[in-house]
Amino acid sequence: MAERIEDIAVAMVAPGKGLLAADESTSTIKKRFDSINLTSTEDSRRDYREMLFRADDAMKNYISGVILYEETLYQKAKDGTPLADLIKAAGSIPGIKVDTGAKPMVNFPGETITEGLDGLGERLARYYEAGARFAKWRGVIAVSDALPTRGSLRANAQALARYAALCQAAGIVPIVEPEVLMDGAPGTHSIDRSEEVTEWTLRTTFEELAEARVSLEGMILKPSMVIDGKNARKASVAEVAERTVRVLKRTVPSAVPGIAFLSGGQSSEEATAHLSAMNTFELPWKLTFSYGRALQETALKAWGGKAENVAAGQRAFSHRARMNGLAALGNWKADLEKAA
């Protein structure tokens, strides 16, 4: 029986579960490994991700899907099991990052355009064959008093829409990720400016998705939260939650089954607290997490690249996964962190 993208999308935002973003590029994971004095090699990257994917408590109870880098989709665990099969065995869904990165946009100083559409249809067919059932594409929206420009915003939204249409044609659920940066230069914008730009970005993105005839029921939105710039942080958890929900209600059609937030420069606990606060509102869609660093940071430090620390790394990962699973239900409380 054929898998319906609508059913896959619903499974990705199952109650109390969310997505693990383990799709760091080779250069990004090198920076993460540098922080624990570990050399990034094909084997060390495999060992790290295998440690996460074999954390049974996290993977079976709180992780609905894992976004993979292309290398990882085709890698095998030390015992020869494909890493994608480890994910499936835990009842989770393998996914794949398909963009090739944000590059400077010609004639638009300080702005980028995400590349990777050339040959994407053929790549998606291969990824489907390898077990991927959803994909991710990130558009990057810079914020300042003058940015973004209309041209850059529209170009990134069009690329997201073309990518989403190609995914759905291949039987793959697209995660549509228009990230309004909180930590880009200079990162001093107010939460008012963040709300204004986020609303404009989401409105433009859904206009382009409609133009491309993308099925809303067969996609997941991965937005940033409405939050003040990294160098201007003042807003409370309650204010971030209230403003983010307000923007979503103004711009995101209720046909979209779920919204999985990126953490975007927030601390692990901040990202959890904001998600939980949002889930106390009456909402037409599931709100959950699609976190990378905010799920992995404590696990990476606990593991430290040492085989004898695998269990400690898995415990740290499972704790953060559980905290975010509770947040996806609106049930997280700060004292649960202290009890860990």
Point out the catalytic residue in the list 17, 97, 136, 222: 222
Point out the catalytic residue in the list 111, 177, 179, 199: 177
Contact by Cβ (8 Å): 262, 140:
no
Nearest to 84 by CA among 69, 94, 92: 94
Measured CA to CA in angstroms, residue 45 lies from 69, 94, 214 at distances of: 11, 17, 35
In whole angstroms, give the CA distance from residue 297 to residue 303.
Answer: 10
Active site residue 222: yes
DSSP states along 217-279? GG-EE-PPP----TTS----HHHHHHHHHHHHHHHS-TTS-EEEE--TT--HHHHHHHHHHHT
Contact by Cβ (8 Å): 278, 243:
no
Active site residue 177: yes
Q: Which residue has the tokens 């044609």?
A: 169
Measured CA to CA in angstroms, residue 251 lies from 198, 200, 202, 255 at distances of: 10, 9, 6, 12
One-letter amino acid at 325 equals: G
The H-assigned helical ranges of the chain are 5-12, 26-34, 42-53, 56-61, 70-73, 83-89, 120-129, 150-169, 191-211, 237-251, 268-278, 293-303, 310-327, 334-338
DSSP states along 173-195? EEEEEEEE-SSSSS----HHHHH
Annotated catalytic residues are 177, 222
